[in-house]
Chain A
Amino acid sequence: MISLAGRDILHAWGKFIFTGIGLGLLIGVTLTMAGVYRGMVDDGKVLLDNSGANLWVVQRDTLGPYAESSSIPDDLWRSIRTLPGVAEAANVTYLTMQVGRGEKDVRAMVVGIAAGEPGTSGWPPQLVAGRQITRGHYEAVADIATGFRLGDDVKIRRNHYTVVGLTRRMVSSSGDPMVFIPLKDAQEAQFLKDNDAILMQRRRTGANPAFNRPGVPGLLDAVIASQTSNNSVNAVLVRIQSEYSPQEVAEPIRRWKRLTVYDRAQMEEILVGKLIATSAKQIAMFLVILAVVSAAIVAFIIYTLTMDKIREIAVLKLIGTRNRTISGMILQQALVLGVIGFVVGKITATFAAPLFPKYVLLMPIDSILGFFAVMVICVLASVVAIRMALKVDPAEAIGG
């Protein structure tokens, strides 16, 4: 038996191809949306991977340092370092802000990294160009996505930094590329006020007789110095010794230091389950809407194609074609349309993904699930047309 669906498709291939392309673009958007979600999750995991930490020590009862603000003293790392099982402890600050790039600015997460050597927690694990930060001030390593090049000038608050190294795939959980600067500079940047505000505060402090005592020389300077310096960091990144489990090391820190400690799984849960949960729901809603729109379009197209063949279907039924042959023809056409649409959609998504400003991760499993979803949608969408075709009276071919 010849394939009626195949012959019809070959006969009207232009209609099928162009319809398939239209559907494919829609499927491409759907796959890309799934890729955006995967990219967000991956950004979060990469952020954790690149930090090089096993534990994140943050302000008590906060979800810091990525999901909430967290502030802990910058000398706390020393006592944490002495606890059993701790191989390394390093301060870190995170601040998402606009950094100056020439006349323009770019959104970036400024990461303050503690002095140390390559491989220290918080440092960029690998560079694609240049070198790591070696000076205590005014050097930066930037993610390549910021658009900075080696030797470029980065303006953060009032200070200027020179880009000495470039890294890749170092992004925040919201996809902003990172700029690494020395910890002291980052601490200052977090709390640095503008010149007028500093001047006003100094004047106000100087006018306060409690601080400006003629009998206590140096008190005013000490108070002013304390007001303009920042001794806090957002978190301490802890790397544990291999023979210890994260829980074994975390428990004493929680108990003795009255801090909150997250291990990798908990931090991943915060990033994926809380930080991007709303975005994920938003994307899920888009996926549902796109799936419904795709189904409606396929149903409409198959319905229209079937309507165009009412007379032929009546003739086919009159000359003895079984209902299942006619149903099979319509179903096969819907599935072929879905396959064409999926192939076009997959190609579109693959080529479009790198053009997106945020990371779009197209996972094979999403493509496989997407393919089966498209097939299911096509089957469901063909039901209306099949029902209509089965209702066609063979007597219509005779007329009268």
Chain B
Amino acid sequence: MTAKGIHIEGLSKRYGEGDTAVLALKNVNMQVAPGEVVGLIGPSGSGKSTLLKCLGAVIDPTAGRMVLGNEVIFDDEWKVRDLRALRRDKIGFVFQAPYLIPFLDVTDNVALLPMLAGVGNDDARKRALELLTALDVQHRAKAMPSQLSGGEQQRVAIARGLVNRPPVILADEPTAPLDSVRAMSVIRILNDMARRFETAVIVVTHDEKIIPTFKRIYHIRDGVTHEEAGEGRSFE
């Protein structure tokens, strides 16, 4: 995999037609380099979730261009045929709640993605264990999600997002349910993993605790983004 981060130009999304049309995203431009973690912040209804869904290939943008790694995936229309495979192989997701599959143990929750991509069970589990070790939850590898603490669940969710080595990770409020210590731990892990796997990470957040840790922040309001430098504080 060649990691080139994600590059977005002039992305717009319109809901509805005619008089009832709502322009949720207006000419959004973003660029996140491999190994970089940027924040995406904005009030409710500003278009954060719409942007995340467009980047996650779960809704169709109306216009614009998106380049993921070396590949143009959208240029006024999708350039990849199988969006499901795109999501599976090229985009990692970390959600507000971990949303682990309750009937799979920790290892298989992480190994499921490579398995879905056709990797053999043993290889997929080996890959999952490597990540769980990197995230320091290898000792819970056989536990069920319900047996984990909130912080452990979120680390497993991060491992799941990373397991297919995607060029980009979309994290939707990943620290919302966590206290400040665990929230900082998650942000540190995301930064470590981004550097280690050369993954571009976009963190959508309202969390005042973690906003100062970003070196770059995209503000979004009424579907329009503008970039500013962040404080880039230490995670401790």
A203 part of interface (Cβ distance < 8 Å): no
Contact, CB under 8 Å: B172 / A7:
no
Instruction: Choose among A7, A10, A321, A400 the residue with the greatest number of B CB atoms under 10 Å from its CB.
Output: A400
Chain A binding surface, main DSSP class: helix
Bound Cα distance A4, B117 (Å): 15
A391 CB to nearest B CB, Å: 14
A229 at the interface (CB under 8 A from B): no
Contact of A1 among B85, B103, B115 (CB under 8 A): B115
Contact partner, A320, options B52, B88, B101, B144, Cβ 8 Å: B88
8 Å CB contact of B113 from A10, A320, A393, A397:
A320
Contact in complex: A7, B99 (CB < 8 Å) = no
When distances are taken between beta carbons in the complex, the residues of chain B under 8 Å from A319 are 87-88, 93, 112-113, 116, 160
Q: State in angstroms the CA–CA spacing of A258 and B89 once bound together.
A: 90
Tell me if A312 and B112 are in contact (CB < 8 A).
Answer: no
Compute how far the CA of A4 lies from the CA of B85 in the bound complex, rounded to whole angstroms.
19
Evaluate contact between B103 and A10: CB separation under 8 angstroms.
Answer: yes
**Are the C-beta atoms of A320 and B103 separated by less than 8 Å?**
no
Contact, CB under 8 Å: A2 / B49: no
Bound Cα distance A395, B84 (Å): 12
Interface check B27, CB cutoff 8 A: no
Min distance, Cβ B43 to any Cβ of chain A, angstroms? 12
State the CA gap A311–B95 with chains docked (Å): 12
Assess the A400–B49 pair: CB atoms within 8 A.
Answer: yes
Residues in chain A near residue B102, CB distance under 8 A: 11, 312
C-alpha gap A318/B49 in the complex (Å)? 14
A397 to B160, CA, bound (A): 15
Which of the 9-residue segments B53-61, B68-76, B216-224 touches chain A? Answer: B53-61
Chain A residues with CB under 8 A of B172: 398-400
Q: How far is the CA of A12 from the CA of B59 in the complex (A)?
A: 33
Contact of A399 among B49, B113, B160 (CB under 8 A): B49
B116 to A2, Cβ gap below 8 A? no
Report the Cα distance A2→B84, complex, angstroms.
19
The number of chain B residues touching the other chain, given as a range, is 20 to 34
Establish whether residues B58 and A320, one from each chain, have CB atoms under 8 Å apart when the complex forms: no
- Closest approach, in angstroms, between the C-beta of A289 and any C-beta of chain B? 35
Complex contact A400–B52 (CB within 8 A): yes
- When A1-B116, A11-B102, A315-B101 are in contact, do A398 and B49 touch as well, CB less than 8 Å? yes
Check if B96 sits within 8 Å of A399, measured CB to CB: yes
When A and B form their complex, what is the total count of cross-chain residue pairs whose Cβ atoms lie within 8 Å?
A: 82
A276 CB-CB contact with B under 8 Å: no
State whether the Cβ of A8 lies closer than 8 Å to any Cβ in chain B.
yes
Q: Does A322 contact B (CB under 8 A)?
A: yes
Alpha-carbon gap, A344 to B137, bound state (A): 42
**Residues in A neighbouring B104, C-beta threshold 8 A:** 2, 4, 7
For residue B59, which residues in chain A have a CB less than 8 angstroms away from its CB? 395
- Are A12 and B103 within 8 A (Cβ)? yes
Bound-complex Cα distance A2 to B113 (A): 11
> Nearest chain-A residue to B104 (Cβ)?
A7
CB distance from A288 to the nearest CB of B (A): 36
Question: B101–A316 contact, CB under 8 A?
Answer: yes
Q: Which residue of B lies closest to A6 (CB)?
A: B103
Tell me the B40-57 residues at the A interface (CB within 8 Å).
Answer: 48-50, 52-53, 56
Output the least CB separation between B211 and chain A (Å): 19
A-side contacts of B49, CB under 8 Å: 398-400
Which B residue's beta carbon lies closest to that of A395?
B58
Are B93 and A397 closer than 8 Å at their CB atoms? yes
B-contact 0/1 string along A378-399, CB 8 Å cutoff: 0000000000000001110111
Query: Could you say which residues of chain B place their CB within 8 Å of the CB of A393?
Result: 58
* Contact status A311-B53, CB under 8 Å: no
| Chain B residue at minimal CB-CB distance from A320 | B88
Q: Which residues of A contact B113 (CB under 8 A)?
A: 319-320
- Taking CB atoms and an 8 Å cut-off, the chain A residues in 302-316 that contact chain B are 311-312, 315-316
Q: Contacts of A82 on B, CB cut-off 8 Å?
A: none
Q: Is A398 touching B52 in the complex (CB atoms < 8 A)?
A: yes
A319 smallest CB distance to B (angstroms): 6
CB atoms of B99 and A312 under 8 A apart = yes
Q: Does any Cβ of B come within 8 Å of A325's Cβ?
A: yes
Binding site for B on A (CB under 8 A): 1-2, 4, 7-8, 10-12, 311-312, 315-322, 325, 393-395, 397-400
Knowing that A2-B115, A4-B104, A325-B116 touch, tell me 7 more A-B residue pairs with CB under 8 angstroms. A11-B103, A318-B87, A319-B113, A320-B113, A398-B49, A399-B49, A399-B96
Supply 30 A–B pairs (Cβ within 8 Å), ascending by A: A1-B115, A1-B116, A2-B104, A4-B103, A7-B103, A11-B102, A11-B103, A312-B99, A315-B95, A316-B101, A318-B56, A319-B87, A319-B113, A320-B87, A320-B88, A320-B89, A320-B113, A320-B117, A322-B84, A393-B58, A394-B87, A395-B53, A395-B59, A397-B99, A398-B56, A398-B58, A398-B95, A399-B49, A399-B172, A400-B49
Task: State the B residues within 8 Å of A (CB).
Answer: 48-50, 52-53, 56, 58-59, 84-85, 87-89, 93, 95-96, 99, 101-104, 108, 112-113, 115-117, 121, 144, 160, 172
Kindly list the 6 A-B residue pairs having the minimum CB-CB distance in the complex, ordered from nearest: A400-B49, A320-B88, A11-B103, A8-B103, A395-B58, A7-B103
